[in-house]
Structure 1
């Protein structure tokens, strides 16, 4: 997966998790486990860090 995709997916995960933390009642009404949103945030940060390491090692530019 390209580093650009990893960064965007990681950012999306972080924004969703922060949105759940900002609006916990609405998220709870939709059936979201508010306490587990930090796991999604951590996963987003993990994806962003992996993308940074891949880009730093030079393995992320596989354009065709």
Structure 2
């Protein structure tokens, strides 16, 4: 943990970018292992994605609102 505290901010931003890039690659590479996805699983994944996007929009708007107060 102390290693992170002694690093340059630009380098830490680079590491954070690599981490998010890696998570995106791993998450999207999962589709190559499935030939067919059941309709129920597809509906579950779509519902989860919609929930994440609604939550992101809500918290983004809430942050803007509290910034104005």
Into which bin does the TM-score normalised by the smaller protein fall? 0.3 to 0.5
Task: Return the index of the structure with the highest Cα Rg.
Answer: 2
Between structures 1 and 2, the one with greater helix share: 2
Q: Which has the higher contact order (CA 8 A, sep 6+)?
A: 1
